[in-house]
Amino acid sequence: MLDFFARNRVATLCAVTVLAFLLIGMAAPGYLSLSTASVIMSNSLVLLSVSLGTMLVILTRNIDVSSGSVLGLSAVVLGIMLNNGYGLGSAIAVCLLAGAIAGLINGVLVTILNVPSIIATLGTLGLFRGFMLILTGGNWIEELPQPLKALANNGDIGISILTVVVLMSLVAVWAFSRQTRFGRYFYAVGDNREAARHLGIPVKLVQIAAFVAAGVLAAIAGIIFAAQIGFIPNQAGNGLELKSIAANVLGGVSLLGGSGTVPGIFVGVIFLTSIDSALVFLKIPAFWNDFIAGAVLLLVLLLDGRVRIAVEKAIRAKRYAVHDPAPHPAPGTNPASEKNTRTRAQETGE
């Protein structure tokens, strides 16, 4: 049981989330409904998309703190094109391209110019935000055309096209990272870069690919953002980079690279977003949001940490118990006071 939760950070978080839902449902009747689920889902879309990109970067043992600005910049590119009469399709294409280029810049800085990723993306965080402001002249982009806003409309079953797109990207990234050879390289590069290089893996290409993918996913988040609120403020995406890193940590992605899964991201983001909606139902003033979100994040991580330590201890005890009794009946080596469980542990241990 303990073992299962330790190996599955996602399971721990799932259990905590379900428990939280049940408790809130008891405290505020009417919370557990399809409409709440629909609200939480659509509120999660932006963070989901950004977090997914951030995960790919973190897997390769880098970090991307520029995603909020990439979101803003690509949303502005989208808005300007639309307001200048370009079609939705071409505007979205150019918007995604802008995200890809921003990611490429990050990737090149990190791999080819050897700037540590935290510094490089901290730099581009300011740079992209600044470039966005230059493009808009410091003004908000308003009155976005109806076709864009229509993307965010929930259909008959409470699911918008955007939801479908994000879910599809989740599945695509999951399949890519788990099933393809190049996808496994992401894990390898983050786990031990030198080893990956020894094994002939194109280490630099993998890292650049991660940054470019993060840029594209941030641009998708930019489209969702613009479609959902119908205008683009100057601070679009501000602070999302840290929220997405929090969602990654919560979802069991190791900041040291090499481990993390897409389902983890999904649960992490849903958990973070549902806190906001729950507070509304519980009639807690909105200014409590950050405090409670932070406290819950710490609580989950602490809990997870304790479970891990307990399991590690159990594993250690089992591993070293191998040596306690003599593995083969050898005369005079050991008192015959061993328990059967020990003997079994030693057999499986070897």
Partner 1 sequence: MERNTPISAAVCVTDIWKSYGGTPVLKGINIELLAGQVHALLGGNGAGKSTLMKTIAGLVNPDQGSVTINGNALTYASPAAAQALGLYLVPQEAHILPNQSVLENICLGLRAKPRALRDEAEALLRDLSVSLDLDAQAATLEIADRQIVEIMRGLIRKARVLILDEPTSALTPHEANALFDRVRQLQQQGVGIFFISHKLREIREICDVISVLRDGAIVLSGPLTDYDDRQIVAAMTQTAQSTELPTRIARDICFDNRDTVLDVDSFSGEGFRNISFTVRAGEIIGLAGVVGAGRSELAETLFGLRNAKSGDVRLHGNALTKRSPRDCVDAGLVYLPEDRQQNGLFLEASLAWNMSGYTMHRLGFFPKSGPEATAFDAFRTSLGIKCEGRNQEAGRLSGGNQQKVLLAKCLAADPRVLILDEPTRGVDVAARNDIYRLIRDLADKGLGVVLISSDFDEIEQLADRVIVMAHGHQCGELDGNAITVDAIAHLAFESGGHPNA
Residues that bind partner 1 (CB under 8 A): 181, 184, 187-188, 191-192, 194-202, 254, 258-259, 315-316, 320, 322-324, 326-328, 330, 333-334, 350
CA 143 to chain CA centroid, Å, is 31
Short-list 191, 175, 194, CA closest to 183: 175
Of 283 and 328, nearer to partner 1 (C-beta) is: 328
Nearer to partner 1, 22 or 344 (CB): 344
Complex with partner 1: residue 259 or 289, whichever CB lies closer? 259
Q: What angle do CA 125, 130, 136 make, to 5 degrees?
A: 130
Q: From CA 202, how far away is CA 206, in angstroms rounded?
A: 6
Residue 29 or 335 with smaller CB distance to partner 1: 335
Indicate the residue among 138 and 331 with the shorter CB distance to partner 1.
331
The two tokens of residue 338 are: 């061993």
Q: Taking the complex as a whole, how short is the minimal distance between the CB of residue 315 and partner 1, in angstroms? A: 8
DSSP classification of residue 287: G
The residue among 129 and 193 lying less far from partner 1, judged by its C-beta, is: 193
Residue 70 CB, nearest approach to partner 1 (Å): 28
Smallest distance from partner 1 to CB 200, Å: 3
Q: Give the span between the Cα atoms of 107 and 256, in whole angstroms.
A: 18
- Residue 210 CB, shortest distance to partner 1, in Å, is 16
> Cβ 22 to partner 1, closest distance in Å?
33
Whose Cβ is closer to partner 1: residue 168's or residue 326's? 326
Q: Dihedral sign, CA of 166, 172, 176, 178?
A: positive
* Least distance between partner 1 and beta carbon 201 (Å): 6
Angle 53-250-204 (CA atoms, 0-180°, nearest 5)?
35
Q: Report, in Å, the least distance between residue 265 CB and partner 1.
A: 17
Taking the least distance from each CB to partner 1, the nearer of 192 and 228 is 192
Residue 236's φ and ψ, nearest 5 degrees, are -55, 125
Instruction: Quote the least distance from Cβ 329 to partner 1, whole Å.
Output: 8
For residues 19 and 25, give the distance between their C-alpha atoms in angstroms, rounded to a whole number: 10
Alpha-carbon span 103 to 219, nearest angstrom:
10
CB neighbour class for 268 (10 Å; exposed up to 12, middle 13-18, buried from 19): buried
Which amino acid does the sequence have at 250?
L
For residue 29, the SS3 value is coil
Task: Compute the least distance from the CB of residue 337 to partner 1, in Å.
Answer: 12
The number of CA neighbours under 13 Å toward the Cβ of 349 is: 18
| Pick 30 or 335: Cβ nearer partner 1 | 335
Q: How far is C-alpha 103 from the geometric centre of its chain's CA atoms?
A: 17
End-to-end CA distance of the chain: 23
